Amino acid sequence: MSMKKREKEPIPQEFNTWEAAGEFWDTHSAADYWDDMEDVELEVNIQDRRFAVLLEDAVYQALERLAATKGVQPDTFLNEFLRQELVHAS
């Protein structure tokens, strides 16, 4: 049985969206691109903690709409809103 090496599609220099990157890697194996990978250095702040909070669907939908009017992500908007409300509540 002959093992023929197949041509691999090049990794795009840049993806326009997270979804485009996800679609590419959903259909390609990183193992095929190991030699093309570059080492990177990054800093991780393990002091910064995040928590999951369950929201009702209608509440999250309203949050998404309001955040969009401000041009920010829902989590960014909610953190700032809660920060302000907590200052006023204390």
pLDDT digit string, tens, across residues 19-48: 999 999 999 999 999 988 889 999 888 887
Task: Return the HEC string of 3-52.
Answer: CCCCCCCCCCCCCCCHHHHHHHHHCCCHHHHHHHCCCCCCCCCCCCCCCC
Q: Which amino acid is at 28?
A: H
CB neighbours of residue 15 within 10 Å:
14
Show the beta-strand stretches assigned E in 9-51: none
What range defines the domain where residue 71 resides? 57-89
In a domain, 77, yes or no: yes
- pTM score, two decimals? 0.48
Q: Is residue 31 part of a domain?
A: no
| Residue 7 confidence (pLDDT) | 80
Q: How many domains does the chain have?
A: 1
Asked if the structure places residue 50 within a domain, the reply is: no
Residue 21: C-alpha distances to residues 1, 6, 7, 84 (Å): 35, 22, 20, 36
2 — pLDDT class (breaks 50, 70, 90): low
Is residue 72 assigned to a domain?
A: yes
